[in-house]
Every structure is written in structure tokens, then in C-alpha cells.
Structure 1
Amino acid sequence: MSEERRVHLSRSAPDAYKTLDAFSKTVGRIADEAGIEPRFKELVQIHASQLNGCAFCVRVHVDRAVKEGLDADVIAQLATWRDSGVFTERERAGLELAEAFTFIHDGGVPDEVYDHVGGILSEDEYVALSWILVSINAFNRVAIAGRYPVPPRASGKA
């Protein structure tokens, strides 16, 4: 199979990519100030990336999640989070919000989701998590559009 040539957006417009990266760092600070734990941040970003089909961002955030102490079992449970007992009530609310933001084109964030998540997360947490989801969805689109490659892992690395 021949390698398809795609425009690499981050290289072709580095100032735009640097701005997106700076935005992401600002969002991270907002999340830290709101008390969103690193585990929680990574879980919602992995889930949104899975839903978008962004293998590149899934790899990036799985690597970060492992550094934050998440194990393979918890990460594997993301696909079945509604039926899994490994997530906290807050994490489950965040995963529900991740789905609403990822599929926002299907009528926005439904009132039921907004009310349910808002009953679990504080307003600051809801705002921070929303910005995290805006950010990861933007990065997913950049990576998917450019078909950023995800090479196989070197042997011995998780």
C-alpha cells in the first residue's frame, strides 16, 4: 500500500498550531484550578479521541494516563464505562459529557446530560471539563485530517 501524502497542519501553519497548543495549556491550568485531577483529564480525552477515531491522540493520552497511574484495565474499561464499576461518579459524569461534546452536532448538549452532569460537578468543574473537551476535539480534527501516523510500539513498552 502506498503512503498517502497529506498536508501536515502543524508543520504547514506552525503559528496556528502553537496557538492551539497554548490554548490547550491555558485549558489545563483552568482544569487544575477547578480541581480536575490528571486521571480525570486523561480519561475524558482518551474517550473523546476514541469516539472521534483519532488513534494518534488516543496514544498520546494513554501514555499520559499511564504516567498518572492508570492501568490497562481501567483504560480498557472506557469502551464500556456505563457498565463498568471502575469509574467514580464524577468520572462517569465527565465521560457522559465527553460524548455530548464529541457528538455536539446531534443537537448540542442535551438538557438531561447538562442537568445530570451539573448535579455532580461544580460549575467550575463543568466549565473546565467543557474547555478540555473543546481542546481535545480540535486536536483530534487536526490529527485525523492529517492522518498522523501511530507507529507500533517498541517491544517491551506498554
Structure 2
Amino acid sequence: MKKKWDLKTDFSDDVSDRIVVMQIAANPDICIISVYLSCRGNNTKDNICEVILEIEELLEKYSDTHALFICGDFNSSLSRHPPNDRDQILRDLVRKHNLHTDQDREPTFFHASGEQSAEIDYILKNTPAREISSPVVTVGQHHSNVSDHTPVSTEIMITFHDKISDLMACP
């Protein structure tokens, strides 16, 4: 029997156009926060910090009730040494909110010149999200992918609420 997905996507005014929030009613409830932080040449440190603050507000809003997946193109690296300012902002976010990444440190971005590559695309997880998902996989370069980014993915084991038993359990 096909299960009906109960999805909510938020394009509200309280988040910028760089963030999309999707909620899935499940057990546990799931919140996927999709992020795009523009590249260094197109944004100031203040603009990056504004988006990071929005992400932090969402983390505070959903962390007690949802398995959280924060994913996207951060244009910052958790593995670059030494880190630049943008990298440090992302590292601080991960540390402050006890987020996990189990990626393999493989590059996810390849400059068109072929001379540079970096790991800048992530799926970050809180502890409940980590418990219901597989490790993150970096797909790698493939001839059919015309993007300068390679996909990263994780599998999420979703257990939907049993609406009939949920209704029967009401006092």
C-alpha cells in the first residue's frame, strides 16, 4: 500500500532566498534545510553571517523536535587547512550546534580550469538525523554531470506515523 507523504515546504519571509525548509511528518519528524551560500566574490562576510544566523534560528526552532539535515553548497570547507574566514564560520556553526558530517573528504567542487578542487557541498546532521540515515556518499565526477559540483547523498530511513493508531491513542 502506498503511503501518503505529509510534506511542508517553507518559502516564508522569515528566511532568505538562500534557504528552503522542508518538513516531513514521520517518526521522528524530519526537517531538511537546503542552503546555498554564494561564492566569495559575490558576497560579503556580513551577508554570509546573516545566512548563518538564519540557519542557527532554524536549528534552535527544530532541534528539539526533528531529525535535522542541513545540506547544500556552503562554498566553505570543513577540511581545508589552514581554514579561511568562511571556513571558520562554518566550523563554528558545526561545533556550536553539535552537527555531524560523515563525508569522506572527497572534493565536491572542481574549478573549470581543472587546477582547483575543494569539498564545499555538505549534508550536516544532528544526532537524531545521524541515527536514521546512512553515511554521506560523494558520487564523484561522471561524464554525464555537466556541473562543476558532484552530488553528495544520504539515505534516510523514514517511518511514517500510523495515523489510525495515532487517532485511536487520543484521550
Q: TM-score, normalised by structure 1?
A: 0.27
Structure with the greater relative contact order (CA < 8 A, sep ≥ 6): 1 or 2?
1
Between structure 1 and structure 2, the one with the greater Rg is 2
Q: TM-score, normalised by structure 2?
A: 0.26
Higher helix proportion (structure 1 or 2): 1
